[in-house]
Amino acid sequence: MTISAVASDADDSVAYTFASRYVREALPRFRIPEQSIPKDAAYQIINDELMLDGNPRLNLASFVTTWMEPECDRLIMAAVNKNYVDMDEYPVTTELQNRCVNMIAHLFNAPIGEDETAVGVGTVGSSEAIMLAGLAFKRKWQNKRKAEEKPYDKPNIVTGANVQVCWEKFARYFEVELKEVKLKEGYYVMDPAKAVEMVDENTICVAAILGSTLTGEFEDVKLLNDLLTEKNQETGWDTPIHVDAASGGFIAPFLYPELEWDFRLPRVKSINVSGHKYGLVYAGVGWVVWRNKEDLPEELIFHINYLGADQPTFTLNFSKGSSQIIAQYYQFIRLGFEGFRNIMENCTENAKVLKAGIEGTETFDIVSKDVGVPLVAFSLKDSGKYTVFDVSETLRRFGWIVPAYTMPADAEHVAVLRVVIREDFSRSLAERLVTDIKKVLTDLENRWTKTTMVSHVKAEENPDGGGAVVIKKSVKQTHEEIARYWKRLVDRKRTSGVC
């Protein structure tokens, strides 16, 4: 007699994952499924889809940290279930945040005593930090205008056109006019003189960028401070400065300690910095520190007691994880000043290696500067055959994610590629990237040579009766046409960089 058994779905724990029914059923996309599935099947299905994501280590578009030491990874996982806002339940985590704020304030030369507590807060990134700093400036300006019995309904903020999109969000969400200093070809940061010219009695602050997302350049905060001081003395105003040091705040103190950009300048009242960029922590942590208590209006601070004790809070959200706060403290005590300096020096040296390799192709112009955030921004000398967008797309065949974009207002015709050098981007990777760029250029050159399609043709009567005459556009015309196309996309969704 033959005995047969029917497989049951009741015990999927013994089923081989890829032999189960779960891998042949369509995945839910709009509704929560009615039935449960085994945990290993759920893991395998999601893990397989995630394989199609790019490799974070090869994502050269992002400033955000993509590698940390295993010991710190363990600390992060151990704290992943701690809600930071429960300060009374997790007092040590709160203490670690306060230590980080103090360390950052001293790093930025805040005028506080050796054992004095600094004024600042941890955030989920520089976007939230900028919102909080902007709100403090707006409220302080409004309070002053009310006391003087003057209108306080039309605040504005002065920035360069190179600011990250979070500044536009702040202006739109909190009803503040954004006055942008336009850029020009060859000068892709805010001109301090033009910025001060735009300041009026309704300006709540001028925002300077220490590390532009476009080219990595540091804006001249000291010159801005001096010019603004003169204008304040002439007008009787008290216009302050905020420094957006999201990218450069953990670079300048270690590589350029003599550069005056921080609280050493009297007009600088607050500074934000991204812990998840060159603070060397995974995505999800930023910081904002104020010069002193008077620069953060007390009415913006909330006090709650329903979690067990009186807790002051000044954030845009409430619940958030503790892991990144702990990871930031780990990096501070693990690396110290010496370690941070060594890492930033390595990044700078690797940026120089990459820059030399790109220059060696004789195909690109370097747009970025040597002093600033370690990155290399470069544009094509001739876009007649192919564009930086073609280079960016073709590099993906080798796994590299290198962004291509156009510059902001008044420099839109300039299109560039940008490679951000992070801690985990070694010299060998820089050399490999140069090799792959050369392969891409050869491939694009061959494609252009073989093609029979001409993009820009104008049919005119040939005096010799030979038919149509092909007129090739100039490099500038090609750049401008590319810029117009991409500007339409950028206007719909502005993505200048990652906070």
Total domains in the fold of the chain: 3
Q: Which of 290, 307, 335 is the last residue of a domain?
A: 335
Examine the pLDDT at 384 and tell me if it is beyond 80: yes
Which pLDDT tens digit goes with each residue over 78-131? 999 999 988 888 989 999 999 999 999 999 999 999 888 999 999 999 999 999
Mean pLDDT (the chain, rounded): 89
Q: Which of 427, 445, 463 is the last residue of a domain?
A: 445
Examine the pLDDT at 296 and tell me if it is beyond 60: yes
Among 165-179, 416-430, 464-478, the range scoring the smallest mean pLDDT is 464-478
Residue 310 is predicted with a pLDDT of: 66
Q: Decide: 192 and 349 in contact? Cβ < 8 Å.
A: no
Residue 489 is predicted with a pLDDT of: 59
- Residue 269's nearest CA partner among 286, 294, 301, 249 is 294
Flag whether 221 is in a domain.
Answer: yes
Residue 419 is predicted with a pLDDT of: 98
Residues 127 and 48 in one domain: no
Residues 276 and 385 in one domain: no
Examine the pLDDT at 452 and tell me if it is beyond 60: no
Residues 188 and 94 in one domain: yes
What tokens were used for 355? 């820059």
Q: Decide: 100 and 328 in contact? Cβ < 8 Å.
A: yes
Residues 265 and 180 in one domain: yes
Flag whether 1 is in a domain.
Answer: no
Residues 276 and 378 in one domain: no
Q: Decide: 393 and 403 in contact? Cβ < 8 Å.
A: no
Which pLDDT tens digit goes with each residue over 139-151? 999 999 999 999 9
Torsion angle (degrees, nearest 10) of CA 428, 431, 435, 436: 70
CA distances from 334 to 248, 343, 411 (A): 20, 13, 43
For residues 150 and 175, what is the distance between their CA atoms, to the nearest angstrom?
18
Which pLDDT tens digit goes with each residue over 198-247? 999 999 999 999 999 999 999 999 999 999 999 999 999 999 999 999 99
Among 254-268, 287-301, 468-482, the range scoring the smallest mean pLDDT is 468-482
Examine the pLDDT at 428 and tell me if it is beyond 70: yes
Distance of CA 3 to the CA centre of its chain: 65
Residues 305 and 440 in one domain: no
Plot region of 445 (φ>0 → left; ψ -120 to 50 → alpha; else → beta): alpha
Examine the pLDDT at 6 and tell me if it is beyond 50: no
For residues 275 and 366, what is the distance between their CA atoms, to the nearest angstrom?
28
